[in-house]
Amino acid sequence: MSAATTLVKLPVARALQLKSIADARECTICEAVEHLLREEVRAGRLADVLPGFEVSTIGGSVRFGIGEVDLPPMHPAHARVVASLFQHAASGMPAGRGNALTLGDDAPYQLTVGRKGRGIVGRVSCEALKISHSFSMTTGMARDLSRQIGKAAARAQLA
């Protein structure tokens, strides 16, 4: 599974400050950084996009891609179901559990999303096209993605 992570080197003093922020918020340092990023998005200083998880609209459909895999265009109602899958994984799904959706008609894709510890793991696959791509994300990323898909569904509904 590809879990795109990177190492960020910080002076020890800054790392300790981040730890203090996380402790005050009762979360991990990663989750504290996500809070800061979300504040920047809300303030309009950072685009509301999640690199590697592309969401857009075309006409009355929602387009959604994970890594190199583009899922078939979705009706806004189907996109809302996908959004709720990510929201449920982030907020209500117990660790060790998962749910799957089938998307598309001609060559159906399977989107599976589940909890693993504090994080989320998933896979998008299409047997007919021999596609299989695994991904991982934080619960904060899943909430952001859910919101982005929901907004795209609302825009597509108006088209």
Q: What string of pLDDT tens digits covers the 159 residues of the chain? A: 445 778 889 999 999 999 999 999 999 999 999 999 999 999 999 999 999 999 999 999 999 999 999 999 999 999 999 999 999 999 988 888 889 999 988 889 999 999 998 899 999 999 999 999 999 999 999 999 999 999 999 999 987
Q: Cα(30)–Cα(111) distance, rounded to whole angstroms? A: 25
Q: Cα(31)–Cα(79) distance, rounded to whole angstroms? A: 26
The pLDDT assigned to 24 comes to 97
Give yes or no for a contact between 136 and 3, defined as CB atoms under 8 angstroms apart.
Answer: yes
Could you tell me which of 104, 154, 103, 146 has the C-alpha nearest to residue 112?
A: 103
Instruction: State the Cα angle at 78 between 76 and 79, rounded to 5°.
Output: 60
The pLDDT assigned to 3 comes to 53
Give yes or no for a contact between 76 and 62, defined as CB atoms under 8 angstroms apart.
Answer: yes
The pLDDT assigned to 118 comes to 85
